[in-house]
């Protein structure tokens, strides 16, 4: 991922320096395990020497790889240069025990699992922070009236806090998925050429995994099965889709014809190079755009699941790009969404204004039920409700300053034969729709991240 969309903590996880540091630790732990096991010939003193002297530089590894065309061999060769640097000429080299009985996948896959857990921990923290923000702001706007929309059309009254509340619940589901994916990914394998432990004792795998906070794969075929990685990428993709959905709502609310909320517009910010009046939802749009990258990368992970026989490396290059880019992009998206939602500018007066822009049409469902309660069939009631509603729609569509929906009903003899003025007062009170809203906020009160 380009630097523009990379936050430092997440970026460091996917840098070569961190990957090789994990590789080094795995190799050293494997040597220590072999020394404890006492079967391969390595002594405890040699294992300690390896720990004390093992090192690398990315530059030297790159230099060696240009010759070997093999990154793991380049790494172990570089590490051996450090381990054996102070060993007298003719003496046995401690580096001979490095990578003993292991394959490249034993090292690479176990390290990748550890990187994924590191990255998942950051995303999990991101989700919790944004979830708490949404929950807090939901209660801030618990009693702020706004119109609900379905298909983009005014539907019925609701409160603005419900929007934040729904986002909080979506993030809770994202948290559950990410924690499950992390658990599936936190797996290591040091089982040899085709997973038979032919040249390495299972104790080494157990020892290394325990020290790295991983669980040994019960049956690896040299590689860890890529369905594990696909589950992680799927969780990232769904989480990105959730952020995209929230950002889309912000974009819609910021439209000039709506303007009930907008992302922060900071001092000195410019909206357009040509139109100085503009306040564009650029951050929300950026989140929506980056979500496409993360969602697309999930398909890469699904395609990586199917490998030839016990392994091939068709997955390798693809996942080096897709995994890193997805984690980095999603972390960046969370940073922007946290800034956006924590500082979301809201306009309750405009929400109230918009509530009445359709001249009371949003109360039609209450009128329908009141007519049914008065004793006529639902079909007959629907005719009365709709014919008056369509007249109001016509006025709205043609910018005619005509009667409100209530006034239309009051002029309808058939309707008023069944309704009273007192009943209309009750029907056209927006809070009458929200007598049970506390149910959802009571549930939200118990939501924990």
Domain ranges of the chain: 3-97, 104-145+157-265+272-350, 358-446
Give the pLDDT confidence of 55-73 residue by residue, as tens digits: 999 999 999 999 999 999 9
Q: Crossing angle, helix 104-140 and helix 438-445, to 10 degrees?
A: 140
Residue 273 has pLDDT above 80, yes or no: no
The mean per-residue pLDDT over the stretch 403-430 comes to 96
pLDDT attached to residue 270: 80
Query: Is 304 a residue whose pLDDT tops 80?
Result: yes
Residue 269 has pLDDT above 90, yes or no: no
pLDDT value of residue 167: 98
Out of 151, 256, 273, 277, pick the active-site residue: 151
Confidence (pTM): 0.94
Structure confidence at residue 197 (pLDDT): 95
pLDDT at 268: 80
For residues 177-204, average pLDDT: 96
Q: Is 151 a catalytic residue?
A: yes
**pLDDT (mean) for 6-35:** 98
Pairing, β 153-159 against β 145-150? antiparallel
At the topology level, CATH places domain 104-145+157-265+272-350 in: Fumarase C; Chain A, domain 2 (1.20.200)
User: Could you report the per-residue pLDDT of 216-245, keeping only the tens digit for each?
Assistant: 999 999 899 999 999 999 999 999 999 999
Q: What distance in Å separates the CA atoms of residue 165 and residue 76, rounded to the nearest whole number? A: 52
What local confidence, expressed as pLDDT, does residue 2 receive?
86
The reply to whether 104-145+157-265+272-350 and 358-446 are identical in fold is no
The pLDDT of residue 40:
87
What is the CATH architecture assignment of 3-97?
Orthogonal Bundle (1.10)
pLDDT of 276 = 83
pLDDT at 402 over 80: yes
Buried b (16+ CB within 10 A) or exposed e, 152-167: eebbbbbbbbbbbbbb
The one catalytic residue among 70, 198, 199, 272: 272
Architecture of domain 358-446: Orthogonal Bundle (1.10)
Please say if the pLDDT value at position 29 is more than 90: yes
pLDDT at 36 over 90: yes
Q: What average pLDDT does the chain have?
A: 96
- Residue 412: predicted pLDDT: 95
Kindly tell me if the per-residue pLDDT of 271 is higher than 80: no
Does residue 272 register a pLDDT over 80? no
Among the ranges given (88-92, 239-243, 417-421), the one the predictor scored with the smallest mean pLDDT: 88-92
Is 191 annotated as catalytic?
no
Q: What pLDDT is attached to residue 265? A: 83
Least confident of 203-217, 228-242, 307-321, 343-357: 307-321
pLDDT for 141: 98
Residue 380 pLDDT: 96
Angle between helices 44-53 and 16-37 (to 10 degrees): 170
């Amino acid at each position: 991922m380009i630097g523009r969309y990379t936050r430092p903590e997440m970026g460091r996880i996917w840098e070569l320096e961190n990957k090789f540091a994990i590789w080094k630790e795995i190799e050293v732990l494997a040597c220590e395990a072999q020394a404890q096991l006492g079967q391969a010939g390595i002594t405890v003193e040699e294992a300690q020497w390896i720990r004390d002297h093992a090192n690398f530089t990315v530059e030297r590894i790159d230099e060696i790889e240009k010759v070997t065309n093999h990154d793991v061999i380049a790494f172990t060769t570089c590490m051996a240069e450090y381990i054996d640097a102070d060993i007298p000429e003719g003496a046995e080299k401690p580096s001979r025990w490095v990578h003993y009985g292991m394959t490249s996948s034993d090292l690479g896959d176990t390290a990748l699992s550890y990187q994924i857990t590191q990255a998942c921990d950051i995303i999990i923290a991101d989700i919790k922070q944004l979830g708490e923000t949404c929950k807090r702001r939901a209660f801030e706007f618990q009693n702020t009236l706004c119109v609900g929309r379905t298909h983009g059309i005014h539907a019925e009254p609701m409160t603005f806090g419900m929007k934040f509340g729904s986002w909080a619940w979506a993030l809770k589901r994202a948290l559950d998925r990410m924690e499950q994916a992390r658990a599936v990914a936190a797996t290591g394998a040091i089982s040899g050429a085709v997973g038979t432990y032919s040249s390495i004792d299972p104790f080494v795998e157990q020892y290394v995994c325990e020290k790295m906070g991983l669980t040994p794969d019960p049956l690896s075929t040299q590689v860890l099965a890529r369905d594990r990685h696909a589950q992680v990428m799927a969780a990232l993709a769904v989480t990105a889709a959730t952020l995209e959905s929230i950002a889309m709502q912000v974009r819609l609310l910021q439209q000039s014809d709506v303007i009930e909320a907008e992302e922060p517009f900071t001092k000195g910010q410019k909206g357009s190079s040509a139109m100085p009046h503009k306040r564009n939802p650029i951050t929300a749009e950026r989140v929506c755009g980056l979500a496409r990258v993360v969602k697309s990368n999930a398909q890469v992970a699904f395609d990586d699941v199917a490998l030839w026989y016990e392994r091939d490396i068709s997955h390798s290059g693809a996942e080096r790009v897709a995994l890193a880019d997805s984690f980095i992009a999603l972390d960046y998206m969370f940073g922007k969404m946290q800034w956006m939602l924590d500082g979301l500018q809201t306009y309750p007066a405009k929400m109230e204004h918009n509530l009445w822009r359709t001249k009371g049409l949003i109360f039609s469902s209450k009128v329908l039920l009141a007519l049914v309660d008065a004793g006529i069939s639902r079909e007959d009631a629907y005719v009365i409700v709709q014919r008056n509603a369509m007249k109001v729609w016509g006025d709205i569509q043609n910018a005619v300053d005509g009667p409100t929906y209530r006034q239309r009903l009051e002029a309808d003899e058939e309707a008023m034969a069944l309704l009273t003025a007192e009943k209309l007062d009750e029907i056209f009170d927006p809070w009458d729709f929200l007598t049970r809203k506390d149910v959802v906020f009571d549930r939200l009160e118990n939501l924990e991240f």
